Amino acid sequence: MSAKKKALFLLPKKEQNKEKKYRGIVLDQPDLDPFFAYRPEEIDDPGEFEVVVSFFYPWFYELLPEMKRLQWIHFLSAGVDRLWDWELENKGYIFSKSSGVHAQPISDHVMAMALYFSRRLGEFYRQQKKREWNRHPLGELYGMSMGILGMGAIGRACAQKARAFEMRVIGTANRPREMEGIDYCGGPDMIDRVLQESDYLVIALPLTEKTRGLIGEKEIAKMKKNAVIINIARGEIIVEPALIKALQDGRIRGAGLDVFAEEPLPEESPLWEMENVLITPHIAGSTPYYMERALKIFLNNWQAFRANHPLPTGVDLERGY
């Protein structure tokens, strides 16, 4: 590449400066000419940009017909299921995502939810509000099995932290493989084994046509009665009515849920009132370091792009993530 490629960075809280940095990350790279914008009226000529770095802003989608030189879109989110709503897969663009940006905060969240159930923190908080002093037998994470569906960056980070608690870690990936620190990792056809052996089942899969509704009544019926489901991926992966019924019937011990089929979770949902459910409002990935990490992932992809190499976090249109 000789001439610098013009890149449009659609970033919140515009922070332009002469060094063309954003939160300390230098974006003025060899062969890359960055321009920062937060609103469409800040962009004089959308047609001059060859690269866009953005979240899924609806107004960005509306600009696309004017972006005649656009080659590559890097999304600042790790999940790209909304890409198919945009109907862009046949327009010849290259796509990449910020896969791995959530690994640290979400794996923290998963372990916090596991500890919440293991140490019965919900019960103690309810007692505290009533000024009650009742002691209960508690569990440990030591020796328990954490099953992880989806061994991507988040799944691997969860596995590493579970191993620090001396848990047994099993899971599934898109193909069977041996992974350091993981006792067993099978392919998608081995999900039943993971369901049957898990004390804590973590959903860390992308939402695709294959994973939508993956965990339903039949799958939950294969789980241990003392098992806890933790979902930090997408709500649609679990058949929510089946999960609610299993929780109501005591078929499983509990659920830590950060994502739901409908968000915000409707006020009439029975999940709100269940003492064996911990609800957080799709916030597991929240971190003060988000943008720094996401932009470093972009720069890693940029180095591959300028060298005509496969993008490290490219979107696979056939697999749907």
- Tell me the catalytic residues: 234, 263, 282
Close Cβ partners of 80 (under 8 Å, ≥ 6 residues apart): 95, 97, 206, 315, 321
Cβ contacts of 109 within 8 Å, gap of 6 or more: 232, 258, 280, 284, 285
Can you point out the beta strands (E) in 98-150? 145-149
Residue at 200: amino acid letter: Y
- One-letter amino acid at 312 equals P
Determine phi and psi for 20, rounding to 5 degrees. Answer: 55, 55
**Sign of CA pseudo-dihedral 36, 38, 44, 48:** positive
Q: Cβ contacts of residue 273 below 8 Å, gap of 6+?
A: none
Could you tell me whether strands 21-22 and 184-186 are parallel, antiparallel, or unpaired per DSSP bridges?
Answer: unpaired
Q: Calculate Rg over the CA atoms of the chain.
A: 22
Pairing verdict, β 200-203 and 184-186? unpaired
